[in-house]
Amino acid sequence: MNKKKKIILIISVATLIIILWSWHSLKVMTEELPSTSSLVQYRPELVTEVYDHRGELINELFIERRTLVPLDEMPSDLKNAILAMEDTNFYNHWGMDITAVIRATFRNLTARRVVQGGSTITQQLAKVMFLTPERRIRRKVQELLLALQIEKQFSKEEILQFYLNHIYFGQGAYGVETAARIYFDKNVKDLTLGESAMLAGLPRAPNAYSPGRNIYSAYRRRAVVLQRMEYVGLITEEEKTDANAEPLPGRTYREVRKPGDDFVEYIRRKLMPVFGANKLYRGGLRIYTTLDLRMQEAAEEAVTAAVERQDEIFTEKLIKDIKEEMDFRSIEEVKTSTTAMKMVEERFRPSQAALVAIDPRNGQIRAMVGGRDFTLSEFNRATQARRQPGSAFKPFIFTAAIDQGFTPADILYDEPRVYFNDGRDWVLLKNATTTAQLGIDMEKLRKENNNNNNNEEKEEAGMRLQDRIWAPTNYYRAFDWQTTFRDALVRSLNCATIDLIDNIRPITAYYYARQMGIRSNLPVSLSLALGTGEVTPLELTAAYGVFANEGIRTRPYSIIRVEDYAGNTLIANYPLEEQVISPQTNYIMVNLMEQICEYGTGVATRWLRRPKGGKTGTTDNFTDAWFVGFTPNLVSGVWVGYDDNTPLGERRAGGVVAAPIWANFMDKALAHTPVLDFPVPDGITFVYFNPATGRLATEGEEGAVLQPFIRGTEPRTYF
């Protein structure tokens, strides 16, 4: 065999080997390709949408922000702009555009870098749907093979719809509908030519061409898109000129904080164990909630204004303290001192507040604020923080007492008293009304404690000793000695309330609180009179809903129903109610709490001109301020304080701090609702009586008030 024949044989064998190897590799790659049949039921990772009870969108849950929209709902300008930039020959090729590949190869070789791609829309879809982003020949071949399969299995319209709903436009937006909402705050069907052209310029390099990052690059990129559309005959020169003149959103894109962040997180935590993260974030669920978006906005406005005001007061107090510490001559001198103001900054701590509003007729939560700023703290003080309610707990005690036979005219003893904790309960020390009168006993106990040789244990023992002595007093450190049941509640007299709970026994008050909706653990002791058990704003507000609803407790709930992407109902909730106190007992309490808002500790709410009742609450050292109140169609509770129990300030009580927030919120929340009165049930009679003595009074007599009583329990004598 001559040399020429040998060369031909070698080339032939090598060619055969390459062909066989290529065929085998192609066969292996084809077998390894993912099935394109999944596109038949194509449903991208959809955004879960959260709605209020009127059907208004509150917020969204997602990992990839995406909303599916049919091709016929997309404007022609947007489709044409995408085709002009990404695949002009889309409707003519079979998955690969040979002309585009040759053109791109030539341009890239000339520029000595990749300046143009040759992939068709079908190839891009195959890549983003089924393949990894690695740049290897093997992956490029797989991309082409998948594109051929997709072209064979689906129409051009279907392929374009898949693509436009899946590609990334930057700023967390996947798909054209979400991109339109993010960049232009409108639906995709409402986009103009100029807006469509801007979006069409983003997929190649979303960060580089985003108007939020570089407005000049965005304008230049849009001009390129419009020039290309004119070049291929999709728009006229006049249309191009007009579109180029449209302004672009020249701000740095930032997710706009929407009302209800605390509430959405609250329901997310409820639904996560039910659906799991994948379905909740990617399933395109529709969650219809009980929230009222307008009430929520009013709640957030009221809370924001209040905490800002509290911050101002706290800062003023810090400045005054530092003035005294450092012997400054004036406040102005403190404010001009860098050192002093740095001390103010270091000592400052932000106040917090929570607000919950519920429709008492069905238990639906209408508003929820868990703190001053969800982006700084996701801790929900409306549902997760348990704080002492102070005097806001008293209505449960007085309710229990009415059912035990007490009336608004009964006399209670509002006098100083001292209790000793014997390890089981508080025992009244009969002969002592001040701790000074316990001197001998206290000294004896101290001597016993001092026998311990460990200093730390001595200190702890001393603290325990102090905790075992309880000498309750009233807010103003004064006593009425004798007062009526009505005045004890309206004026929130601590010692009279202790006398009352001592009469009915703490276990009775505990039982009524549980019946009305308090679920947190409570101490079964006399200290319940001062609200020493810790509760959440949500449960306290829900329990007050009983008063607004004629004695009927309704279970608070936040989710009306959950639907899947096809509209099938997955979860549905309905009101659950139970009559827990009689309508007659309830009405007596409602009337007393109306008087609290007119004449008592809740007088800061008087200006709200509609029937209302409520109760203030303040804890020791002014660490917690509460107001919980209601109308026949809305009950809401407000808490204000600091996470670390820093005092709010001298005399910063519930009536001063929380009640104004409540009134401001209720005024806006109920602005477009009818003014309703509390219905008077059968079995109630009204008489004039003197709240100072509890005796009958004549109409027009000084100090006389018209007071309802359960029929048969009203006072019968004038003397």
Residues annotated as part of the active site = 86, 391
CA distance 430 to 619: 26
* CA proximity to 533, closest of 525, 519, 523: 523
Token code pair at residue 646: 């820093």
CA distance 706 to 718: 14
SS3 419: strand
Look up residue 249 and give its amino acid: P
CA distance 465 to 240: 86
CA distance 41 to 57: 27
Look up residue 578 and give its amino acid: E
**Residue 443: partners with Cβ closer than 8 Å, 6 or more residues away:** none
Helix (H) / strand (E) element for 277: namely helix 261-282
* CA proximity to 615, closest of 590, 598, 596: 596
**Residue 442: partners with Cβ closer than 8 Å, 6 or more residues away:** 435, 465, 469
The alpha-carbon radius of gyration of the chain (Å, integer) is 37
SS3 684: strand
Residue 57: DSSP 8-state: E
Contact by Cβ (8 Å): 547, 593: yes
**Residue 503: partners with Cβ closer than 8 Å, 6 or more residues away:** 401, 404, 406
The string of DSSP codes covering 162-188 is HHHHHSB-STTEESHHHHHHHHHSS-G
Alpha carbon distance, N-terminus to C-terminus of the chain: 143
Parallel, antiparallel or unpaired: strands 684-689 and 634-641: unpaired
Helix (H) / strand (E) element for 30: namely helix 3-32
Contact by Cβ (8 Å): 393, 402: no
Token code pair at residue 429: 């020390």
Owner of token pair 């019946």:
515
Helix (H) / strand (E) element for 563: namely strand 559-563
What sign for the dihedral angle of Cα 193, 198, 199, 201?
Answer: positive
Token code pair at residue 279: 């379905």
Token code pair at residue 31: 């077998």
Burial of 647 (0-12, 13-18, 19+ CB in 10 A): middle
**Residue 297: partners with Cβ closer than 8 Å, 6 or more residues away:** 259
Distance of CA 581 to the CA centre of its chain: 32
Burial of 712 (0-12, 13-18, 19+ CB in 10 A): exposed
Query: Interior CA angle at 646 toward 415 and 488, to 5°?
Result: 25
Owner of token pair 């059968």:
682
SS3 547: helix
SS3 42: coil
Contacts 24+ apart (CB under 8 A), 431-435: 434/471, 435/469, 435/471
Contact by Cβ (8 Å): 616, 653: yes
CA distance 120 to 156: 12
Length of the chain: 719
